[in-house]
Amino acid sequence: MSKDLPHVVIVGGGFGGLEAARALRNARVRITLVDKRNHHLFQPLLYQVATAGLAASDIAAPIRKILAEQENVTVLLDRAVAIDKKRKVLVLSNEELPYDFLILATGVTNDYFGNDSWEAHAPGLKSLEEALDIRRRVLLAFEAAEKEDDEAIRRRWLTFVVIGGGATGVEMAGALSEIARRTMAADFRNFNPRDARVVLLEGGPRLLPAFPPELSEQTRHDLQEIGVEVQLNARAQRIDEQGVLTANEMIEARNVLWAAGVRGVPLANSLGVPQDRAGRIWIRPDLTVEGAPGVFVIGDAAAFPVEGGILPGVAQVAIQQGRHAARNILAQLARKPLRPFSYQDRGSMATIGRNRAIAVSAGLQMTGFLAWIAWVFIHILYLVDFRNRLAVLFEWSWAYFSYNRSARIILERSAPRVELPPHPPEGARKEPA
Amino acid sequence: MSKDLPHVVIVGGGFGGLEAARALRNARVRITLVDKRNHHLFQPLLYQVATAGLAASDIAAPIRKILAEQENVTVLLDRAVAIDKKRKVLVLSNEELPYDFLILATGVTNDYFGNDSWEAHAPGLKSLEEALDIRRRVLLAFEAAEKEDDEAIRRRWLTFVVIGGGATGVEMAGALSEIARRTMAADFRNFNPRDARVVLLEGGPRLLPAFPPELSEQTRHDLQEIGVEVQLNARAQRIDEQGVLTANEMIEARNVLWAAGVRGVPLANSLGVPQDRAGRIWIRPDLTVEGAPGVFVIGDAAAFPVEGGILPGVAQVAIQQGRHAARNILAQLARKPLRPFSYQDRGSMATIGRNRAIAVSAGLQMTGFLAWIAWVFIHILYLVDFRNRLAVLFEWSWAYFSYNRSARIILERSAPRVELPPHPPEGARKEPA
């Protein structure tokens, strides 16, 4: 491939970054896609890995493999450290990458609203590593309860608090309750897993605030029916090894999960352009950035103003913006005007548990079994890699009929033993892709 | 369950320990099975996890789930620290477990023959964590090669040395060669994965010394045909970050894997009874131990003398001994004489790669495609958990027709962040179950 072709650098191999790369497959450009991980992650199903329903590799596929046939793409496993917008250079851990166009698709990370000490007690759910960490904690909590004779301490092991009533929080709480009431039901001798307490805390007045109020109410009802204790207008005031303190109660719990907030990754700061309160980059209607020529920002990393706020951080926005950024790059190369982005909302959905979900599309609302079936099929259809579709379909069919969860495997954290090739250091786990 | 019933304690939920527990399902005893991991591991397929062919949860199943329906068993996730044979007590990390009968089924760990510094450079393959560590190293090596411009350094990243020509070493070498020549073939831009060098070092005069010489020779031939460089009578004299030094050559390699030796776990030492050179416990024909009343040792942890040496460390021996130990416990409870164990050899097999394996059973030898098909089906049949059978069959069918490997996911080692419930500390990874 000629070195003279315009160089498009994409940071991040999530939904947006991958779609941008694919949309440029026939373009006369060189593309370099940089990600600090080797895999694309199907984030909407991450909670299933955390709750032992799916294996890590079921919802992830090597970015390199996905793009193997697209000859104008080079995939680099590396960490983007900074952007020098004057020199038009992306700084990686060991080298610099000059760009003509830069597409930032770096996503977001967990945000503890300034209470960084909470992170140790309430892990978030953004990466496969975090999902496996949560899985280990949850499974080990049941094991610890089996060995504990002190009733009060055992109760604390068996209390799960999920903070944040958005889609991730609702799905986690529902899955945890099913694990305790179904999957684990017969497996312990010294306690009844059905006695586990699962609490979902939401700071606002209703769950799933992005959905219509009737569906929020249906979700609360469904969650309570499967044993989840939903507390609305309840904020965590303190989180520590004892549990969670709210205005009403000290909830003694050894298992606290964070699904309450996200923020843009630090790489965005190095661009030196306006960001919203959560560190997302304000973008113009054509997805470019004021004062940073050649730079596009898409997906969760971007703040795209719409009536009443910004576009939500969902896969559909990232995918459509990735495609649009690619088109605007082609327009600019052809010296045509860039076009403004407009979002086509195809609807949204959340699952609550076996046979229960909610969905809204084109003003139409669905609940219950029908919504759940729709959820299952749409998620399988969107799984990037063909093989993964079949594998997940298989796991789910099995789980549905057996009530079992196939990935109930506790992996120890392996001890670092030897220097590996240049890759993101431990401390950088939350940094840009 | 009455506390008055005789208490059988089993250490280890591998093939032997599980079989012993199951064989006692109708007995009037209380059983406690202790393992430091929550899962039974199908060790013969561990190399498939290491080479990204299967997910960790495909070859593992929760011990607790396997035994959930057997009401006379309690499963404990804990580490056995020592045995007090005088008081008939097993010491765990936080408590003591008095026993009437103790079945040690603790398996073996890697042995570096006194060269402990080699371990950091040449990981072994005994646990899921080690398999995932090897997978990460192998996949990262290809990633590092893609970023490297210096030809000599790139060659080092693309050189894989497997030490030990037993079944594990043969299977690892064959799989690595297939990854480079098939799976990865189209995925890189700056080098050709087919140029990767895979070397298998065997200290003795032939591969698979437990098999008939013709099959050893066939294996060598097959491995060479799929691109593995086999070196016989070649011992590692030094292993460090540069690679492996043998009498003939300094093999510059960043990827060295250890499949050359095993030894009994430290728990065995606390019994204070005779052990063989590799730390295995010498057992009597009835599987009991001289000077340790009530103690049985089975599987890889035991040295059972037969003509020409001891019984091999394979699943079949462990399973049959587990069953036999259970029978002898019942005999002793009924005040009948204990019976000597005799091994029924059903044959053995090893796979070399796609369509290639060797097998020997009842004097009959098989090679090539037929042996491979037999290998595939026998391994699927023996997978403990029914679901796993289907999942593995699916993964393999997919891999066979697509040449793809589904688990090409690099997981970072997650940073320890918070105190988890009592479970084996990092340093104890190689200690008794």
* Angle made by CA atoms B208, B213, B215, in degrees to the nearest 5: 65
- Is B203:B178 a contact under the CB 8 Å cutoff? no
Q: pLDDT (tens digit, 9 = 90+) per residue, A154-212?
A: 999 999 999 999 999 999 999 999 988 888 888 898 899 999 999 999 999 999 998 99
Model confidence at A420, in pLDDT bands (50, 70, 90)? very low
Residues in chain A within 8 Å Cβ distance of B412:
37, 129, 423-424, 426, 429
pTM of the model: 0.83
Our CA-based measurement puts residue A339 at a distance from the nearest CA of chain B, in whole angstroms, of 33
Our CA-based measurement puts residue B352 at a distance from the nearest CA of chain A, in whole angstroms, of 25
* Residue A353: predicted pLDDT: 85
Using alpha carbons, list the distances in angstroms from residue B28 to B4, B24, B63, B222. Answer: 10, 8, 21, 52
Q: Tell whether A411 lies on the interface with B, counting CB pairs under 8 A.
A: yes
Using alpha carbons, list the distances in angstroms from residue B274 to B265, B271, B278, B284. Answer: 14, 9, 11, 11
Model confidence at B424, in pLDDT bands (50, 70, 90)? very low
Q: Tell whether A409 lies on the interface with B, counting CB pairs under 8 A.
A: yes
Interface ipTM: 0.77
* Residue B401 three-state SS: helix
Give the containing element (helix H, strand E) for B144: helix B128-147
Residues 319-348 of A with CB under 8 A from B: none
* Residue B421: predicted pLDDT: 39
* Residue A210: predicted pLDDT: 86
* Residue B403: predicted pLDDT: 67
pLDDT over 70, % of chain A: 91
B259: closest CA among B125, B411, B421?
A: B125
* Residue A234 three-state SS: coil
- Is B278:B113 a contact under the CB 8 Å cutoff? no
A9: closest CA among A34, A46, A38, A40?
A: A34
C-beta atoms of A55 and B56 within 8 A: yes
Model confidence at B413, in pLDDT bands (50, 70, 90)? low
Output the DSSP codes for A35-73. Answer: ESSSEEE-GGGHHHHHTTSS-GGGGEEEHHHHTTT-TTE
Distance of CA A7 to the CA centre of its chain: 29
H helix and E strand count, chain A = 10, 26
Q: In sequence order, which ranges of B313-416 are alpha helices (DSSP H)?
A: 315-333, 368-382, 386-402
* Residue B429: predicted pLDDT: 34
Average pLDDT over residues B332-344: 96
pLDDT over 90, % of chain A: 68
- At residue A396, φ and ψ (nearest 5 deg) are -70, -40
Asked if the model's pLDDT at residue A432 lies above 50, the reply is no
Q: pLDDT (tens digit, 9 = 90+) per residue, A236-258?
A: 999 999 999 999 999 999 999 99
Output the DSSP codes for B74-129. Answer: EEEE--EEEEETTTTEEEESS-EEE-SEEEE---EEE--TT-GGGGGTS---SSHH
Asked if the model's pLDDT at residue A378 lies above 70, the reply is yes
Q: Tell whether B404 lies on the interface with A, counting CB pairs under 8 A.
A: yes
Distance of CA A396 to the CA centre of its chain: 20
**What mean pLDDT is reported for chain A?**
89
Q: Is the dihedral of CA A320, A325, A328, A334 positive or negative?
A: negative
Residues 28-67 of A with CB under 8 A from B: 37-39, 55-58, 60-62, 64-65
Dihedral angle of Cα A352, A124, A311, A222, to the nearest 10 degrees: 10
- Is B324:B297 a contact under the CB 8 Å cutoff? no
Q: Locate tokens 């904020």: which residue?
A: A235
The first and second tokens of residue B135, run together, are: 């997978």
Q: Tell whether B430 lies on the interface with A, counting CB pairs under 8 A.
A: no
Dihedral angle of Cα A273, A275, A279, A285, to the nearest 10 degrees: -100
